[in-house]
Amino acid sequence: MARDTMMSNTVIGAALLLSAGTASAAYFGACATELNAVEAAILASQFTGAKASTDQSNLLAKLQTAEAKVTLAKYSDAIDKLQDISDTATALVSAPKPKLTDATAINNAVIAATACVGNLR
């Protein structure tokens, strides 16, 4: 009986780890609504090509850096990182073989997040 319970807990734990690795955690600091909207836009966007998941992960990593900069009250650095997200998304759409179908939602979310972070200064 104990072995069955241990086996069941192992399977559940593995499933939780696999599902947790697919998206970053929600941000709860200043401008949380706006920064979480950037994350939602990135997650909802359709990336294409062989490196689709890498491109999406890179944008999410840039967002995590921006969030960290906000937490450290380095607002100018956070704005720079948010602009980098927008520039990268636009470049992915504009590539000769587009790697992102549309950057509008990402760019609009970045504009709102940048405005919020700018008001923190």
Report if residue 82 sits inside a domain.
yes
Report if residue 78 sits inside a domain.
yes
Report if residue 58 sits inside a domain.
yes
Domain around 93: 26-118
Task: Indicate the pTM of the whole model.
Answer: 0.79
Report if residue 12 sits inside a domain.
no
Report if residue 17 sits inside a domain.
no
Alpha-carbon distances of 116 from 5, 17, 46, 61, 113, rounded to whole Å: 48, 33, 26, 20, 5
Q: What is the pLDDT of residues 35-79, one digit of tens each?
A: 999 999 999 999 999 999 999 999 999 999 999 999 999 999 999
Report if residue 96 sits inside a domain.
yes
User: What is the number of structural domains in the chain?
Assistant: 1
Report if residue 31 sits inside a domain.
yes
Cα 106 versus chain centre, distance: 10
Report if residue 81 sits inside a domain.
yes
45 or 2, higher pLDDT: 45
Question: In the numeric block, which tokens belong to residue 67?
Answer: 């969030």
